[in-house]
Amino acid sequence: MLMELDDLLISCMRCGFCQSVCPVYGETFLEADVTRGKIALLEDLAHELTADAEKVNQRLNRCLLCGSCETNCPSGVSIIDIFLRARAVVAGYKGLGLIKKTIFRFVLPRPRLFNFFIRISSLFQGPFLKKQSEKPGAFTSPILTPFLGRRHIPKLSNKSFSSIYGEIDEPSELGKVALFPGCVPDKVFTKLSDTCLKVLRHHKVGIYLARDLVCCGIPALASGDFKAFVELTKINLDLLAKSSFDYLVSPCATCASNIKENWHRFSDSFESKQSSLIEEICAKTMDLTAYLVKILRVDLKPKASDNKVVTYHDPCHLNKSLGVSAEPRELLKSLPGYQFKEMPEADRCCGNGGSFNLFNYPISKKIGQVKRDNIVSVKPSTVATSCPACMLQLMDLLSQNKDDIEVKHVIELYAETL
């Protein structure tokens, strides 16, 4: 991997254009935080690792993997590829912490155990949570402040979507989709997963929901645990191979982009049969809003405008990774009762970045505050997005600012019209 990294690094010409688009650099103004600074570090990675592996790890992890730099790089440097491989090298050298190892290698590959933990946690979460408002994502946890800080979070669902439905395999003359809900919609925003199912059934599409799907693998990959990423992907491949389907759809932009891009990126690491299956599935993978607009061509009638304003936040993994930005807007513009207003810098990262939010919350919050200010500037009643991780960040920031703005997934708003 070190040698592969060297080959990828050559194309960076040190222009520094990545500075102007990096949300982390925009807050810290540290060259070490921007792509060019990280690439300089990686050029001497072997030496840097032996000198201070933890320091290298921390520098590499101060990145949202948002892809803003890659999208705007004039040399076409494969930045996300570089960062993911570098994280794997670092984790391989210094090892993973016990907590991460347990989660990625023991809990995530066992979906029933994972669901059991979530069920137990949901039953006992009451006394640990303090309601700050009537909004769904407005709970704080004073007891868990050392771990969660003063974040505003939603409650865990009492029962995960996957444990409610088990397996679904419904054929249809209109073709079939495999539904990949993703962990957050499965265990936190269960109603969202339920809504996706209802929307697909409303359009009379055949549905395959594989029993015991596991995490798509992005948390493990982003933490450098390449072994766990491969294992989780293999489990999902075996389950998806049990039925035939025309498209794989997900309401989670991060899952969809991980499947389409990273499964494909690392398909060489799998046996040839699995590698072919990966290519087949990647070609069929779509964000659910894009599937509704492009494939199902759902009715997008113009409607009379109304006073309620809805705006849209572009998730980085949907817009920058998958190039989907028009379709969710088309759905929102067709909503009766709403007037769509574009917020400034709608495609600016919200600052969540998965584990970045966990380990770099002060910077994540500052980046999120810029997003919050942009949302508030168009005075919406609702901000819609297409990624559950972004929803968590938006709920947190809007709730902490006491803004009376609801956060919804585009699919939830679309479902209200059916």
Give the footprint of ligand SF4 on this chain (CB under 6 A). Answer: 12-18, 21-24, 34-36, 63-69, 73, 75, 77, 79
402: CB partners within 8 A, 6+ apart: 133
Measured from the CB of residue 27, what is the shortest distance to ligand SF4 in angstroms? 10
Cβ distance to ligand SF4 smaller for residue 205 or 349: 349
Residues 328/384, Cβ–Cβ less than 8 Å: yes
Q: How far is the CB of 6 from ligand SF4 (least distance, A)?
A: 15
| Least spacing, CB of residue 18 vs ligand SF4, in Å | 3
Q: Are 376 and 347 in contact (CB under 8 A)?
A: no
Closest Cα partner for 138 from 385, 366, 403?
403
User: What is the rounded distance in angstroms from the CA atom of residue 113 to the CA atom of residue 306?
Assistant: 47
Closest CB to ligand SF4 among 68 and 141?
68
Nearer to ligand SF4, 79 or 214 (CB): 79
Q: Cβ 180 to ligand SF4, closest distance in Å? A: 24
Nearest to 138 by CA among 156, 122, 155, 152: 152
**Minimum distance between the CB of residue 16 and ligand SF4, rounded to whole angstroms?**
5
Where does 269-383 have alpha helices with state H? 272-284, 288-290, 316, 326-333, 355-359, 361-376
- Looking at the Cβ atoms of 140 and 321, the one nearer to ligand SF4 is 321
If the CB atoms of residues 24 and 256 are measured against ligand SF4, the closer one turns out to be 24
Single out the residue of 411, 377, 409, 418 nearest to residue 401, CA to CA. Answer: 377
The least CB distance from residue 35 to ligand SF4, in Å, is 4
Q: Which is nearer to ligand SF4, 195 or 352 (CB)?
A: 352
- Residue with smaller CB distance to ligand SF4, 249 or 394: 394
Nearer to ligand SF4, 72 or 401 (CB): 72
Q: How far is the CB of 83 from ligand SF4 (least distance, A)?
A: 7
**Burial class of residue 297 (count of CB atoms within 10 Å of its CB; 0-12, 13-18, 19+):** exposed
Sign (positive or negative) of CA dihedral 396, 399, 400, 401: positive
Phi, psi of 340 (to 5 degrees): -85, 130
**Rounded Cα gap, residues 408 and 418, in angstroms:** 16
Which residue's structure tokens are 């979906």? Answer: 111
| Whole-number Cα distances in Å, 292 to 200, 261, 298 | 9, 21, 6
Residue 50: how many other CB atoms lie within 10 Å: 10
Shortest gap between Cβ of 13 and ligand SF4 (angstroms)? Answer: 5
